[in-house]
Amino acid sequence: MGGFAQIPQIEQTVPVQDVPPRYARTAPQIPAPLAKEQAQVGEGLGELGKILAVQYQHKQILDADTVTNGVRQGLTQALVDVKQLPGDQQADAFKLKSNEILQAALKDPQNAHIAGYLQSELPKQVGLYQDEALKAGAAQTMVEHHQQVVFNGKQAANLSGANYTIDAKGNFTDGPTAQAAEQNFVTQVNSIYGKNPNVANEILAGYQQAKLEKRMQSVAVNDPAQIGNYIKSLPPGMIDGQQQMAAISLANNTMSQAHKQLDIASGAAEAKAVAYQQQYIQQHGQADMAQAVKDHEAGVLGNEWFAHITGRPYEVQTSPATQGLIENKIKNLSSLDDARTLKADLAAEEANKNLSPADKDRYGATIDKAIEQMKTPAGQARITAGNQLKQNYFVTSHEDVRYEDHHKGAFAQAAAKAIGIYQASIYGHPAEPPQFYFDKMQAALKAVPRPGEGAPATPKPTGLPPAVPDAVAKEWQAERLKHPGDPAWGW
C-alpha cells in the first residue's frame, strides 16, 4: 500500500465556517503556487487537506483585517496629530504621514501572503482619510483667516480711534492715519467677504464699536476737558451708562506721573516681547512657544498678540501631576461606567482650566478606544477576570483581620503585586479568546498566594463567569448586531 493509504480516517476537529459575506467579495486569494501545492496535498490528505486549505484562507482573512485595522488606527492618530498644525499645512502633512503608514504595511514581510489584497484595498482607505484631512484643513484655514481679519480690525480700530482732530466748533473727525487705516480695512473685508455681506457687515460693525471705544479712551486721556462733548456727539445707544461713567472718571483723573510711567513701561515690555518673537520667527521659522507662554502668564504678552504670533489662542497648560492622575485612571478602567464618568471628568477639568483642550481631546480619544474594546468578548473577559483577581485579596474573615493587624497592608500589597503580574501578562493582547484572560488570572493567583493561612475569600474562578448583568449583556448584544459575520463577535 502507498504511504497515504495507511493514514487513518479522522473527523474534522476544527470547525470550518463559510466565509462571512462581508469578506467574500474582497477575501485575499491564495497565491497560485501555494494553491497548486495545497491542491496536491489535498488530493493525498482528502478531507484533512480541505480543512487545512480553508483554515489557511481564514488566516488570510483575519490577517488582512488585522493589518487594515492597524492602518486605520495609525491614520486616525495622524489626523489628530496634524490638527495641531495651521490649516494650510494639515493636508500635506497628513498625506506624507499616511503614505508612510501605507508603505510600511505594504512592505512588511509578514504581510507578503496578503500583499495583493492590501495593494488593492489599503490605498482606498488612505484616500478616504486624505480627503477628510483636506476638508478639515480647509475648514481650519477659513477659521484662521477669519480670526486674522478680526485681529486686523482690532488693530485698525486702535489706530483710527487714537487719531482724530477737533475743530473750532468742537466736532471730532478722523485724522489722516485713521482714514487710511479704516479704508485699508474696509477694502480688505469687502475683498474677502464680498459674497457674504452678512459676515462683512458684522465684522465692520465690530470694528466701528472698537474704534468708538478706543477714541473715547483717547479723548479721556489726551483731551479730558472734551470728554463730555465727545459723548454728546455720539448717536443714542452707542455706549451704555457704565461706559460713560468710566470715560468721565478717566478724564477727571489727573493721572499722576507714576500712572503714566506704568503705562509706558507696560507698553515697552510688550513691544520688546513682540520684537523678540518677530526676530525669532525670522531666524527659526516659528515662534518661541516656551517664551510666549511665559510672557503671557506674566501679563507681558496679551491674548491677541499671543494668538497673532503663535498662530493659535493661548491654552492653559496641563500640569504633569494632572496628566499622571488621568493616565493612571485610564490604565485602571474596569467598567463602561468608569470610562464614561472619566470622560465627564475631563470636560469638567477643561472647564476649570486644569486641562488643556488638546489634552482633553487626546485623552478622550484614548477612552473611546478603551470603551470599544470593553464591549468585545475579550474586553468583558479581561474586566471580569481582573475584578475576580482583586476580590481574592479582600479582607473578609476574622482570621484575615487578625493577620492584617499584625501585618499592616499585607492584603493590599499582595493585591497590587498580583494585579501587576496580571496586567503585564495581558499587555499587548487586546483581542484574545476570553479563556486566555482567566488563565492569566489563575497564573497571577498562583504567583501571589493570599496572605495568611485562611482559605481564599472567594472561590478562585476556573473559567468564564456563569453570567453577566442583563444591562451588560444587552449592550454587548447590540454591539454584536453591528458586526454581522465577524468571528470576533461570535458569528
pLDDT in tens, 216-238: 888 888 888 888 888 888 887 77
Where is pLDDT greater, at 391 or 458? 391
pLDDT of residue 186: 92
What span, in angstroms and rounded, lies between the C-alpha atoms of 468 and 335?
Answer: 12
| Bridge partners for 164 per DSSP | 174
DSSP element (H, E) containing 164: strand 164-166
Average pLDDT over residues 109-130: 85
Model confidence band, residue 34 (pLDDT cutoffs 50, 70, 90) = very low
Q: What is the mean pLDDT of the chain?
A: 77
pLDDT in tens, 309-342: 777 676 667 788 888 888 888 877 777 788 888 8
Q: ∠ at Cα 251 (267, 214), nearest 5°?
A: 50
Query: Does residue 345 contact residue 458 with C-beta atoms inside 8 Å?
Result: no
Where is pLDDT greater, at 394 or 60? 394
pLDDT of residue 265: 61
pLDDT of residue 236: 74
Where is pLDDT greater, at 142 or 41? 142
What span, in angstroms and rounded, lies between the C-alpha atoms of 210 and 47?
Answer: 85
What span, in angstroms and rounded, lies between the C-alpha atoms of 200 and 206?
Answer: 10
pLDDT of residue 9: 38
Where is pLDDT greater, at 408 or 244? 408
Phi, psi of 2 (to 5 degrees): -70, 165
3-state secondary structure of 31: coil
Using CB atoms within 10 A of its CB, is residue 444 exposed (0-12), middle (13-18) or buried (19+)? buried
Is the pLDDT reported for residue 420 higher than 60?
yes
What span, in angstroms and rounded, lies between the C-alpha atoms of 287 and 278?
Answer: 8
Model confidence band, residue 49 (pLDDT cutoffs 50, 70, 90) = low
pLDDT in tens, 432-441: 888 888 898 8
Average pLDDT over residues 169-180: 88
pLDDT of residue 314: 66
Cell readout for 158 is 486702535
Is the pLDDT reported for residue 257 higher than 50?
no
Is the pLDDT reported for residue 7 higher than 60?
no
Residue with cell 507681558: 300
Q: ∠ at Cα 364 (342, 287), nearest 5°?
A: 125
Could you tell me what percent of the chain has a pLDDT over 70? Answer: 78
What span, in angstroms and rounded, lies between the C-alpha atoms of 134 and 155?
Answer: 31
Is the pLDDT reported for residue 15 higher than 60?
no
pLDDT in tens, 193-217: 888 888 889 889 898 889 888 888 8
pLDDT in tens, 51-97: 776 776 777 788 878 888 888 898 899 888 888 888 788 888 888 88
Is the pLDDT reported for residue 348 higher than 60?
yes
- Non-local (6+) Cβ contacts of 490 within 8 A are 377, 480
pLDDT in tens, 79-92: 888 888 887 888 88
CA distances from 224 to 158, 216, 435 (A): 18, 10, 83
Where is pLDDT greater, at 447 or 247? 447
pLDDT of residue 14: 42
Phi, psi of 172 (to 5 degrees): -100, 125
Model confidence band, residue 187 (pLDDT cutoffs 50, 70, 90) = very high
Model confidence band, residue 461 (pLDDT cutoffs 50, 70, 90) = very low
Q: Which of 13, 19, 24, 25 is nearest to 52 (CA)?
A: 13
Is the pLDDT reported for residue 5 higher than 80?
no
Is the pLDDT reported for residue 471 higher than 60?
no
Query: Does residue 137 contact residue 90 with C-beta atoms inside 8 Å?
Result: yes
What span, in angstroms and rounded, lies between the C-alpha atoms of 417 and 447?
Answer: 9
pLDDT of residue 261: 54
- Lowest pLDDT segment from 30-34, 145-149, 268-272: 30-34
